[in-house]
Amino acid sequence: MSVIALEGMRFFAHHGVYDEERILGGEYLVDVLIEADIDGAAEEDDINQTVNYEMVYTVCEIEMSKPSDLIETVLQRIVWRIKENSRMIQEITIKVTKLEPPLGGRVKSASIESSFDFTTQCGRCGRGMVCYGDVTCWCTEAKTVHPRTAELVQQEHGSCVCANCLNYYAG
């Protein structure tokens, strides 16, 4: 297990419910911490098996550029997009900090931080695995099993099952 961190990504953005924030915008810092199982990437020197820094930065840049009332919404969108683009994430922690919020110039920063844990146990064999719990999950791309079968397996076990167990239903 490895921790991948991008800290202090700085963006100028127009989030907020006040006109001042929407029109003038403000400075934000974004920190992203990702725990992932990237042992395969190191062994095979394969970038596709790791979490790509550039992807994480680009996702943050794109989502920060879309004005939103709530920072929480921005944060959720960033997590969703990172999940969509990477398959082996065990945990994401993300913090969005607004520098000098419009509170009369007396506050240095205001921030919100959330953690999302995607580790779970296989509903069939009980082994530890990663499940995103939505359509961004790796299992939706598992080519060995028909999508309809995967759906039935999920219903039967109440969650995704691990790659090994999914193979049991293959063919």
Interface positions with Zn ion (CB under 5 A): 122, 124-125, 131, 137, 139, 160-162, 165
Pick the catalytic residue: 66, 98, 108, 143?
98
Q: Which is nearer to Zn ion, 81 or 124 (CB)?
A: 124
Smallest distance, Å, CB 128 to Zn ion?
A: 10
Measured from the CB atom, is 67 or 128 closer to Zn ion? 128
**What is the C-alpha separation between 28 and 98, in angstroms, rounded?**
5
CA 36 – CA 139 distance, rounded (Å) = 17
Q: Which of 78, 104, 74 is nearest to 89 (CA)?
A: 78
Closest Cα to residue 86, out of 56, 63, 58, 116?
A: 56
Q: How far is the CB of 107 from Zn ion (least distance, A)?
A: 40
Nearest alpha-carbon partner for 29 in 8, 54, 48: 8
Active site residue 66: no
The least CB distance from residue 146 to Zn ion, in Å, is 16
Question: Among all residues, which ones are annotated catalytic?
Answer: 98
